[in-house]
Amino acid sequence: MAFNLNCYPVVYRAKYRDGGWAEEYLEKPHKSAEEEAKLPPAEAEALSASRNFYPDMPLVNYTTQYGLGCFEGVKALPQKDGGLAIFRPDQNGRRFSNSMEGLFMPPLPADMLVKALTSLVKRNADLGFRPRYRAEWEKDNYANADSIYLRPFTYSEGGIGVNISREPWVVAVCTPVSSYFSEGSSDAIVTEKIRATPRGTGWIKADSNYVIAALAKEEAHRAGYMECVFLDSQNHRYIEEGSSCNIFFHLKSGELVTPELGDTILPGITRKSVIEIARDMGVKVIERKIAIDEAMSETRECFVSGTAAGATPISSLTWQGKKAPFAFPGELSTAIQKTLKGIQYGALPDTRGWMFPVL
């Protein structure tokens, strides 16, 4: 299923005006969850499209014209005990607030976003829109397990001419999601495109950052690769991240290396979680620059991390016509994925306080 634009019926919306945020929940057109599951494809598509329509929000604005906006990716997951819980929304709240400030918008406070997302998931679940835990997911470490993808994003007031947003909306929707990467190739290739430059917006989860990422990933797909990997803009030597994921290299020395954060790399919440899990396993984790030639020659296994990707292994990396194969799936990435997903789905104890209960 991967990403699926079949938004659940209840939507959160907040508008900044006169120094404060006015919040509301909109209940878009819907039938019961059971009735919708039985609809013919054309009717289901039409109903879904009707939920992705907001006639009172301006079409011409700084978001649609210039990509001035930011967003988050958050997951709510069915729990083994029958409940629902959100994975680390406090971290998403802080990053979203920082992103809005970085774009000179009035920031939505982090605690407001956490409360909004919790209420949003519950309101939809109360209408029957939620996945249920299935024991068979455990057989492949939840590689194809269902979850709810939460997408909070900003949308500017009407305007034309390059400008900043002073009275933005924040909208949050829920969609069903399963595995992010499609079956088939697990290979990656180094792209010649540049994702971010120093003193730019690479550290912000900005809409505009994903234009280059989408183009580079499409080029990779057309060439038969699952993922693309970006190098730095100045030296064209140091690895930064994947198309929409942070990246890790388990070296032959036993060290787990991931590129150090800076203003060109997104501070991933799954990245942060992977580092904590690996260190708890006794793995030496180092955040530093890693050159492409070192990664090609010294890597035992490689994986990418992200809200949708979890910890997804990469089978090889191609650069300038040379291919470096990696252990696939690697022991470490498998162990990290099993632990991460086990915590997220409530099959393992949450000793870190990462999961925020909804039901």
Which residues does the annotation mark as catalytic?
A: 205
Tokens of 42: 């054309």
**Helices 89-102 and 269-280 sit at what angle, rounded to 10 degrees?**
140
CA torsion 348→308→116→84, rounded to 10°?
Answer: -30
Domains 10-177 and 187-344 are alike in CATH topology:
no
Instruction: Give me the pLDDT at residue 5, please.
Output: 83
pLDDT, position 178: 81
How much is the pLDDT for 1? Answer: 44
- Strand-pair partners of 35: none
Distance (Å, whole) CA 153 – CA 170: 6
Which CATH code fits 187-344?
3.20.10.10
> Which residues does residue 239 pair with via DSSP β-bridges, in sequence order?
231
Class of domain 10-177: alpha beta
What is the tens place of the pLDDT at every residue in 158-184? 999 999 999 999 999 999 998 665 566
Which residues sit opposite 285 in a β-bridge?
256
Q: In sequence order, what DSSP letters do the residues of 267-312 get, joined into one string?
A: --HHHHHHHHHHHHTT--EEES--BHHHHHHHEEEEEEEETTTEEE
Separation between Cα atoms, residue 94 and residue 112, nearest integer Å: 10
The answer to whether residues 219 and 191 touch, using CB atoms and an 8 Å cutoff, is yes
- The predicted structure's pLDDT at residue 243: 93
Run of H or E including 337: helix 331-344
Q: And the tokens for 214? A: 């989408």
**Amino acid 141: pLDDT:** 87
Integer Cα distance of 60 and 66 in angstroms: 10
Question: Per-domain residue ranges for the chain?
Answer: 10-177, 187-344
CB 92 within 8 A of CB 125: no
Q: What is the pLDDT of residue 2?
A: 62
Predicted TM-score of the model (pTM): 0.95
Q: How many residues does the chain have?
A: 359
| Beta pairing, strands 227-231 & 187-190 | parallel
Residue 79 phi, psi (nearest 5)? -100, 155
Q: What does the DSSP assignment read for 51-81?
A: HS--TTS-SSBHHHHH---BB--EEEEE-TT
Kindly give the parts of the chain with pLDDT less than 50.
Answer: 1
Q: Which helix (H) or strand (E) holds 121?
A: helix 110-126
Which parts of the chain are beta strand (E)? 10-17, 20-27, 74-78, 84-87, 147-155, 169-177, 187-190, 227-231, 239-242, 246-251, 256-258, 285-287, 299-306, 310-314, 316-319, 322-325, 355-357
